[in-house]
Amino acid sequence: MIRKPVDIGDPHRLYTVTGGRSRGEEAGLDLVTLIVSECRPTEGMQSEHVRILELCAHPTAVVEIAADLRLPITVVKILLGDLLAAGRITARNPRPSAAHGDAPESALLKEVLIGLRNL
Amino acid sequence: MSDPAAPGQHRVPGGRLPLVLLAVCLTALVAGGAAGAAAAPDGTRPWVLGVVAVAGAVAVAAFLAVLLTVRRTATAAANAAAEAAALRGQAEYRQAHTAHLADSVLPAVAERLRNGARTEDALAGMPVPEDLPLRRLLHSFAHEVSSATGQRLSAQAERDEAARQARELAEGVDGLLTTVLPGAFARLRGGASAGTTLAGVPRPADERLAALTEFVIREYATSERRSAAARTAGTKALSRVQAAAVAMLADLREMQERHGEEVFGDLLRLDHSTSQIGLLTDRLALLMGGRASRAWNKPIVMESILRGAVGRIAAYQRVRMHCASGTAIAGFAAEGVMHLLAELIDNAANFSPPIDEVNVYVEERTAGLVVTIEDSGLRMSDAAMRRAEKAVSGESTDLAHLQGTRLGLAVVGLLAHKYGISVSYRPSSRGGTGVVVLLPPHLLAQQRAEAPPAAAVPGARAPREVSASGAGSALPAAAPAGTAASAGTAFPSATAAPAAPDPAGTPAPAAGETAHGLPVRPRGRTLARADRARERAADASADLPQRKRPARDAGASFGAFHRSRRPEDPSE
């Protein structure tokens, strides 16, 4: 067995990032929830929190944060839950109701589909 | 001898005394006879005269007999006196001879004999006593002295020979102890075989010493070979376990990315168990002279180091980390530092109550980075603290000093010795024990002190630029951008493997840059070149104020040299 000469990943494991938690409080966070930071990072904060706060100076989606931090969505949600509980960030979901209201009725879409097939 | 002479001399005047007595007696007898004859009646007168005459005759005869005896006695006495005088003279003569013999002849003879002369030669010039016994005495004395001298000489020669042998033996043993055996053992420890070692060391002159040396060297070589073989076998077997654990960790990480919340907790538990196995196997491997299961080619920030250390112990949730330092540990030492801290924190957690926290503080000092681990358990006894201090001092890195199952501190000592880390114990102000770990500056990656703020801004900006230029297609574009951004904080070469944690299996993009001008290091390209490319790109985007590259140039260039060297030298 050939051993890899070096490791490139991170030395720390995910449970040390979350402090052993595997799921956060249900904060209603979605993949596309937009996060905005409400304060500057402070001294002594966990580095992920610092990164999130810096990243979310402009509204950023949860999935983008996860990609930037190279962390699984679950972990990011736990971290965001911490920040949310401390009031350091605010979360804003896209307007689902408005989007749904503007969308055409499914019956209409079905009719259009049938019409297209009949062409 | 003089005694018999004395009465003889007394008797000489006494010799005349009987004559006078005799004359007196005769006169008295004649007078008495005459008186008797005159007084006697006439008839008895002839008888009386006859009796008187007979008595006179008897008296004369007795007197003569006595006289004769006296004379004879006197002659005998005179003879005896003469004889005694002669004897006395003779005795004096002999005495003088004897004295001469004893005072001068015998010492002279003895002197000659002691000087090595033969018996005849020694006696040659000497006055020979006429006396036979003395002559015999002289001869036998000469013989005795001569043989005694011979015995003495031979005994002396034997003694000298024995002393010489003893001296040679002692010298041989000394040489064996001071030069031969230490040299031979050093060679054997260096891996030489018994044959080469024996040929290389001077052979003692003494046969028994030579045999002893050979025996000892062969025995030592055997035991050295045995322990080396055991170590090699153990290390090899352990390296497979280590590799399996690392592969499992990589797989787990991948699964954590892939699976959702429902199994995430289970995966974390597995991850934790595997990490603990990693600590155990690494501990054994390091003790047996093997290597750690992982190695890092980039500086690791202190926060990650602490998390990496804490993640390997069972009670990681009790550990509170207080780390405000952005300092990073150089890649070559990162794994060692992590393991060392993990052992110490594990120790602290094991020896404190399960409800109490273990606090870890990181402070930057001019002497280096100080990590303090404080528990609030029972205070260690002085003896225990001394033992622990001794174990972590790294003075005795020999496996022979291992005590039972206390392997962790021995590994700490090993690592501390290897990297020049100082570990000291002290009573903690919180009631338990404090361990102070001083990481010297040569273990710290100096450029890291400025890198996080420098890289944080582009790291923060990149996604915004992406979402602005990428316009909608957020996810695929954000992934490489995020990769590069985090690589900026960590290290530019870390662009490989954002998605798949197995870095060796991930082919990096062939092009030198991504579509957004971010550097990508293709396989086989040195890190230094990648770094240069990144700098060029950075110079192009001149709006970054940190690109002035302040006074850390020497450290940075050395770091670049170091990094470019690292991936190539472990080419096994």
Quick one: pLDDT at residue B515? 59
Indicate whether B165 belongs to any domain: no
Residues forming beta bridges with residue A91, ordered by sequence position? A35
Confidence tier at B267 by pLDDT (50, 70, 90): very high
**CB within 8 Å: A4 and B503:** yes
pLDDT tens-digit profile of B213-223? 899 999 999 99
Distance CA B401, CA B422 (A): 20
Indicate whether B121 belongs to any domain: no
ipTM: 0.78
CATH number of residue A38's parent domain:
1.10.10
The domain boundary, picked from B98, B114, B130, lies at B114
Indicate whether B469 belongs to any domain: no
Residues B314 and B273 occupy one common structural domain? no
CATH number of residue B380's parent domain:
3.30.565.10
**CB within 8 Å: B497 and A43:** no
Indicate whether B237 belongs to any domain: yes
Residues B330 and B406 occupy one common structural domain? yes
Indicate whether A3 belongs to any domain: no
Quick one: pLDDT at residue B492? 40
Indicate whether B88 belongs to any domain: yes
Indicate whether A8 belongs to any domain: no
User: Domain count of chain A?
Assistant: 1
User: Domain count of chain B?
Assistant: 4
To the nearest whole Å, the CA of A32 is away from the closest chain B CA by 11
Strands B300-301 and B319-322: unpaired
3-class secondary-structure state, position B363: strand
* Chain B contacts in chain A segment 39-98 (CB below 8 A): 43-44, 46-47, 51, 54-55, 57-58, 60-61, 63-64, 67-70, 72-75
Q: Which domain holds residue B205?
A: 172-289
- Using CA atoms in the order B447, B449, B454, B459, what is the torsion angle rounded to 10 degrees? 100
The domain boundary, picked from B114, B130, B145, lies at B114
pLDDT mean over B223-250: 91
pLDDT > 50? residue B482: no
pLDDT mean over B442-451: 65
Q: Per DSSP, which regions of chain A are E strands?
A: 34-37, 60-61, 89-92
* CA–CA distances in Å: residue B358 to residues B315, B324, B513, B553: 9, 17, 45, 39
- A13 vs B265, B275, B504: nearest CB: B275
**CB within 8 Å: A44 and B474:** no
Quick one: pLDDT at residue B80? 94
pLDDT > 90? residue B459: no
Alpha helix ranges (H) inside B259-350:
261-287, 302-310, 331-350
Indicate whether A25 belongs to any domain: yes
Indicate whether B381 belongs to any domain: yes
Extract the tokens encoding A73: 């969505």
Pick B444 or B522 by higher pLDDT: B444
pLDDT > 90? residue B270: yes
Residues B403 and B547 occupy one common structural domain? no
pLDDT mean over B510-528: 53
Residues B306 and B441 occupy one common structural domain? yes
Indicate whether B503 belongs to any domain: no
**CB within 8 Å: A19 and B317:** yes
pLDDT > 50? residue B396: yes
pLDDT mean over B136-165: 91
pLDDT tens-digit profile of B399-439? 777 776 678 888 998 899 999 999 998 888 778 889 999 99
Distance CA B335, CA B343 (A): 12
Residues B421 and B358 occupy one common structural domain? yes
Indicate whether A91 belongs to any domain: yes
Distance CA A62, CA A31 (A): 5
Indicate whether B146 belongs to any domain: no
Residues of A within 8 A of B339 (CB-CB) are none
CB A1 within 8 A of CB B291: no
Distance CA B285, CA B239 (A): 7
Confidence tier at B391 by pLDDT (50, 70, 90): confident
% residues pLDDT > 70 (chain B): 74
A vs B, Cβ pairs < 8 A, gives 150
**Highest mean pLDDT of the ranges B193-207, B262-276, B380-394, B396-410:** B262-276
pLDDT > 90? residue B33: no
Extract the tokens encoding B101: 């013999």
Q: Which of A30-44, B29-43, B162-176, B285-299 has the lowest mean pLDDT?
A: B29-43
Indicate whether A9 belongs to any domain: no
Quick one: pLDDT at residue A92? 84
The domain boundary, picked from B272, B289, B306, lies at B289
pLDDT > 70? residue B263: yes
Q: Which domain holds residue A103?
A: 14-118
Residues B108 and B188 occupy one common structural domain? no
Residues B178 and B56 occupy one common structural domain? no
- DSSP 8-state code for residue B115: T
CB A63 within 8 A of CB A31: yes
pLDDT tens-digit profile of B80-136? 999 999 999 989 988 888 888 888 888 888 888 888 788 888 788 777 777 788 888
**CB within 8 Å: A5 and B295:** yes
Distance CA B247, CA B278 (A): 11
Residue of A30, A53, A64, A65 to mutate, interface with B, max B Cβ within 10 Å: A64
To the nearest whole Å, the CA of B205 is away from the closest chain A CA by 52
Indicate whether A1 belongs to any domain: no
Task: Walk along chain A (119 residues) and give the pLDDT tens digit of each residue.
Answer: 444 445 667 788 889 988 888 877 766 788 888 999 998 888 878 888 999 999 999 999 999 999 999 888 888 999 998 888 888 998 887 765 555 556 678 889 999 999 999 98
Distance CA B373, CA B361 (A): 7
**CB within 8 Å: B493 and A8:** yes
Residues B434 and B339 occupy one common structural domain? yes
Residues B442 and B492 occupy one common structural domain? no
User: Dihedral of CA B467/B499/B451/B571: which sign?
Assistant: negative
* Chain A contacts in chain B segment 229-248 (CB below 8 A): 239-240, 243, 246
* Chain A contacts in chain B segment 486-505 (CB below 8 A): 486, 490, 493-494, 496-498, 501, 503-504
**Highest mean pLDDT of the ranges B8-17, B32-41, B190-199, B432-441:** B432-441
Please state, rounded to an integer, the average pLDDT across all residues of chain B: 77
Residues of B within 8 A of A8 (CB-CB) are 297-298, 493-494, 496-497, 503
**CB within 8 Å: A9 and B503:** yes
